[in-house]
Structure formats: structure tokens, C-alpha cells
A = this chain, B = another copy of it.
Amino acid sequence: MPFIYNRSVYFRDTDAAGVVYFAQVLVICHEAYEASLAAFGINLRTFFQNSELAIPITHASVDFLRPIYCGDRLLVYLTPQLASETEFQVKYALFVDQQDKPVSQALTRHVCIHPTQRKRQPLSEEMQQWCQKCQG
């Protein structure tokens, strides 16, 4: 079962064209990723400032299928997938509440490295479990 993140669309998400600014969709996807980690029991403050291990995003892509408006209720379906012992990807499908078709779809790729040496290293046991649990 994918993780589902609920999120209202706020004024700050929009631009002068009256809809959500394109890059803001990836911000919302990352919020969903954080919500999913927190729900799994991971401390976000130490996760993002770990001096031994970092999991930066190496690639992101996003398709914009329908405009999203201020006040819309978004549901973000998040599905991670282990690619190797050092790498995973996360897929996101964004729906506006009570609509059948997604408004957007996105993907992020994450690689585990040492934050200063920037060499690959294995994902923690915990992150592998998070991937497996959300994957169902």
C-alpha cells in the first residue's frame, strides 16, 4: 500500500498565472517523502543533518497533467522502490480530492553517500525497511 499524504494548496504555491508554480509540485512531493519518513519513526532533523550519511536526490522528473488551484485538496500517493543497496527511487502520483485522473506525476532518485567524501555507501537497515514497507 502506498503512503498517502494530504495537503491543501496554499497561496504561496501559486504564481501570477493563477495556478501552482511548476517547481512547487516537487516541493510538495518532497513534503510527502518527509511525512512518510516521519510516519515510519525517522527523526527528520537528524536525518537531514547527519554528518556520516546523506541521501541526496540525484535526479527528479515531473509531468504536469492538469492545473492545480489555490484551495485544492491534494492527495499524494508515494511509492518507493529499492534500486540497489545504495540507491532508491520514489514515485509520486498527485490527485485533487474527488477527481479520477492525476493532476501530476513525479519521480525522485536518491543515492546514499558520505556527506563530505561524497562516495556511495549502503543505505541503512532502517531506510531499506522504509522502502520495503511503503512498497507493500
Contact = CB atoms under 8 A, between A and B. Distances in A.
Interface residues of A, number: 45
A43 B17 CA distance: 14
Interface in A17-45: 17-19, 21-24, 26-27, 30-31, 34-35, 38, 43-45
B56 A69 contact: no
A31 B12 contact: yes
A117 to B, nearest CB: 12
Contacts of A15: 11-12, 14-16, 48
B64 A61 contact: no
Interface of A: 8, 10-12, 14-19, 21-24, 26-27, 30-31, 34-35, 38, 43-45, 47-49, 54, 56-64, 67, 69-72, 108, 115, 118
